[in-house]
Amino acid sequence: MSQVAQAREANPAVAPLPPLDYLDLKAQFATIREEVFAAIARVMESQHFILGPEVQLFEEEIAAKLGVDHAISCASGTDALILSLLAAGIGSGDEVITTPFSFIATAGSIAHVGAKPVFVDIDPVTYNLDSSLLESVITEKTRAIIPVHLFGLPADLVPILRIARERGLSVIEDAAQAIGSRYEQQNVGKLADFGCFSFFPSKNLGGAGDGGLITTNNDAMAERLRMLRVHGSKKKYHHEILGTNSRLDALQAAILRVKLRHLDQWASGRQDRAARYCQAFEDMQLTPFITPPQASDDRFLHVYNQFTIRCAFRDELKNFLKQHGIPTEVYYPLCLHLQPAFASLGYKKGDFPISENASHEVLSLPVYPELSNEQQDRVIHAIAEFAARRAIPRN
């Protein structure tokens, strides 16, 4: 039992501690308030809200940051996936391989362009797509692979890219949770045909609303993507292909330009918080009870959009932490192949056991860079207290 818990048990009149935030965006905003308001004012004075200079500058700056030839912004991370699939010419009758352990946008984007999502199970340590299973599901209809860099940890791209090149398949990186992470010293979003990013507010680089980005080193694909996001047009009211309306607002671009300058610092803060969790769990001999996240080796740089542990008593632990004012999240409680929206695919429970087991055991803890040592200690000691009450054996 933690010292705080002991004090409260001895003296019930002690006021309860205020609940923590799972993600404190207000704390982040406080550090960049003046920069953000200046950026907003700049756009308001210009009255240029759709595409234009702010969007162009943001695209140039983030392309340079990620080391890619082209960065094409759009309305959301979901749209980034859909537009990439459309640019690659994928549609009805095609198959695209991906993971069942992800947000629904990953497979939903495949279905939205008329193609069929085909799932393979995940690696039990990284939670990313298990590349050793790809060959077994490739058919003559397969056109692409979408690996997900889940929770901020890159997927193992080398074998995926090798298989794709041998089979003539496109590779689309779902990097919605992983901006700034690196694989073999290269930024995610750089190595495959397309990289797809989300600027949803909770992401490591989050806007003040929805937003997305596609990266590519292919000039022809970049031009096609820029057309697709504006109804298939290069010249106003002249439409060469059928596209859609998926543009990043200038206000969002201006805010993201501010935040981009702080991205490395924030990523470092998340990594520090994650390292502190891992060290504390090891020091307190909690690792038989929970499994903290890890990369398989130093080829992978994790940016911890989520700090996700694994616990056989996940739901009990989640409820216990909630009672102690500590919020957590479950990403994801129901695998994609078991979602009613994908019932027509014909998958059933047990088809992807590693993903299904993970969905019952994963739990994400607060990990934002503004999380103080004192706040983090509350999380750590509460987990230790739960383990002690449950009489979990330690090393």
Q: Residues in the chain with pLDDT < 50? A: 1-5, 7-8, 12-14, 395
Task: Identify the helix (H) or strand (E) that includes residue 324.
Answer: none
Q: What 3-state class would DSSP assign to 112?
A: helix
Tokens 């001895």 sit at which residue? 10
- Cα–Cα distance for residue pair 181/10, rounded to 1 Å: 46
Q: Residue 288 has what pLDDT? A: 85
% of the chain exceeding 90 in pLDDT = 91
Per-residue model confidence as pLDDT tens digits over 300-354:
999 999 999 999 999 999 999 999 999 999 999 999 999 999 999 999 999 999 9
CATH of domain 29-260: 3.40.640.10
Q: Residue 7 has what pLDDT? A: 46
**CATH 3.40.640.10 segments of the chain:** 29-260
**CATH 3.90.1150.10 segments of the chain:** 3-18+262-389
CB atoms within 10 A of CB 348: 10
Tokens 């943001």 sit at which residue? 58
Q: Residue 324 has what pLDDT? A: 96
Q: Residue 13 has what pLDDT? A: 47
Angle separating helix axes 373-389 and 314-323, nearest 10 degrees: 130
Q: What 3-state class would DSSP assign to 114?
A: coil
- Both tokens of 195, joined, read 């990289």
Strands 182-183 and 186-187, by their bridges, are antiparallel
Q: Residue 12 has what pLDDT? A: 45
- Cα–Cα distance for residue pair 308/331, rounded to 1 Å: 8
Topology, domain 3-18+262-389:
Aspartate Aminotransferase, domain 1 (3.90.1150)
DSSP string spanning 77-97? Answer: HHHHHHHHHHHTT--TT-EEE
Q: Residue 6 has what pLDDT? A: 52
- Cα–Cα distance for residue pair 259/325, rounded to 1 Å: 29
- DSSP structure class, residue 34: H
Among residues 62, 65, 115, which one has the least CA distance to residue 86? 115
